[in-house]
Structure 1
């Protein structure tokens, strides 16, 4: 299937983190289908290469970079490469994140706390910090961050993950107010349980655990990565032009039960 070079994002550039697998890969493909040139940013080169293959196969223009989003110089370098290759930045989907090893709060090891907060919250902040000036420099655009349903509710045995993902929501809402007057809209998507490699790790590849997780979804199934990608694309589009600082739950109804 060819990319729509005359799509709503033709001539635009999207920077997608965590793009090697799952939601990030689906988002890279979705932005490319709308005509955007895509910077694929992920930690594992082999995964990035597969995303590049899929984007190229559908006719998209793509650049892949290995990057640890908790490392500021690496984030800066990835964005500099994006500007060098494509000349601009219009959209960012800050999606890189990791899941917590389950434990009650008082039994949580500090190394695990640091790992989760550094990746899921610090990494999102570092990306935003260096994306914002680039987007403002060419007149504005949109940023979408990935939080979680766990950024809106509490989840047992996931104190670090919930703290980090709540932090992403707060970070998004505050930054959205900082830059709304400058034609830069910042929003956050909060996925429910999505059928990704993270879901496989979270359920230890156990069909029984997977069924227990899916039972928590009122819609009766796990979400698809493409459903979150579609939400990110919408939040970057003119269809959401009056949406600012919003935490969009895409979760099959989970957070309202």
Structure 2
């Protein structure tokens, strides 16, 4: 019998088609969860769900763009309709954006970052909390960033969006603590993903600079972020809510 961190839990993962989201789906399955995957790209979701089932896990997927309130509800309703409840959720959908001085930043970049990084979390929190209140509570982890804790030059809208995720996390944790819902966040440092690969390709020398600023001297593997999220979603930390956990190789300690 599997006695993993998430055994018996139904867990939703947004942004599950790649990067940290896909790593989270794999980690949560290994830890015993039944996983519901959602993102905008169906082929990647279908392949990942099949991989998880082939490895002995329980997984299903639903295509949704959670920047839409209606589609965030659709994803949560799919989880509840398919498995009877929602116990845990990892709100991971997000984007990185370009590095541009604030006074040259376009409205389009700002709007896209706020929609993808903030509105998506807000939409998911509303839908997930509503479901969890109907079924006796649950746990939620939002994916913020070290950019939600410190400033990084030429990334003002991204920094603002990730600070907003921290604010939503703390507000929801405070509001629903007495109703059996814990809400925490992870704040990853630079992590290998499609987004960071593109970011580094467009900014030669940036990866070396970032690594030099990180005490461990490297970027994170997505599985390292997923492991932290799994622990926060588990019952191993029942008195922990409203916390933002840096998973950053020591970056914010400097």
SS at match of 1:14: strand
Give the structure 2 partner of residue 163 of structure 1: 160
Q: 2:38 aligns with which of 27, 38, 41?
A: 41
Following the alignment from structure 2 to structure 1, what is the Cα–Cα distance between the partners of residues 8 and 245?
A: 27
| Distance in 1, Cα, partners of 2:5 & 2:212 | 37
Query: When the two structures are superposed, what TM-score results if normalisation uses the length of structure 1?
Result: 0.95
> Contact conserved, 2:6 with 2:230, CA < 8 A, in 1?
no
SS at match of 1:126: helix
SS at match of 1:203: helix
Greater length-normalized contact order (CA 8 Å, ≥ 6 residues apart): 2
* Alignment RMSD (CA, Å): 1.4
1:230 aligns with 2:223: no
Q: 1:96 aligns with which of 73, 93, 97?
A: 93
Q: 1:244 & 1:46 partners in 2: Cα distance?
A: 35
SS in structure 1 at match of 2:141: strand
Q: Is the 8 A contact 2:6 2:233 kept in 1?
A: no
- 1:113 and 1:230 map into 2 onto residues whose CA distance is 30
Which of residues 127, 131, 134 in structure 2 aligns to 1:137?
134
Look up the SS of the partner of 2:220 in the other structure: coil
Aligned length: 254
Q: Matched residues in 2 for 1:98 and 1:8: separation?
A: 28
Residues 164, 206 of structure 1: alpha-carbon distance in 2 compared, 3 angstrom cutoff: closer
User: Could you report, residue by residue, the CA deviation over 1:23-82 in whole angstroms, capped at 9, with x for unpaired residues?
Assistant: 111111111112111110111112212321331122111111111111111111111111
Identify the match of residue 201 of structure 1 among 189, 198, 201. Answer: 198
Q: Is contact 2:145–2:189 with CA below 8 Å preserved after alignment?
A: yes
Task: Pick one of 22, 29, 34 that aligns with 1:32.
Answer: 29
Equivalent in the alignment of 2:59: 62
For residue 113 of structure 2, the aligned residue among 104, 111, 116 is 116
Partner of 1:214: 211
Any gaps of 5 or more consecutive residues in structure 2?
none
**Aligned mates of 1:68, 1:191 — CA distance in 2:** 23
C-alpha distance in 1 between matches for 2:154 and 2:193: 21
The DSSP-based 3-state class of the residue aligned with 1:40 is: strand
- Provide the rounded CA distance (Å) in 2 between the counterparts of 1:126 and 1:204: 32
In structure 1, the residue matched to 2:252 is: 255
User: TM-score under structure 2 normalisation?
Assistant: 0.96
Give distance in 2, aligned partners of 1:135 and 1:246. 19
Deviation at 1:183, TM superposition (A): 1.2
| Contact 1:14–1:38 (8 Å) recurs in 2 | yes
Report the Cα offset of residue 11 of structure 1.
2.6
Structure 1 unaligned blocks of 5 or more? none
Deviations 1:81-105 (A, max 9, x none): 1111111100000000001111111
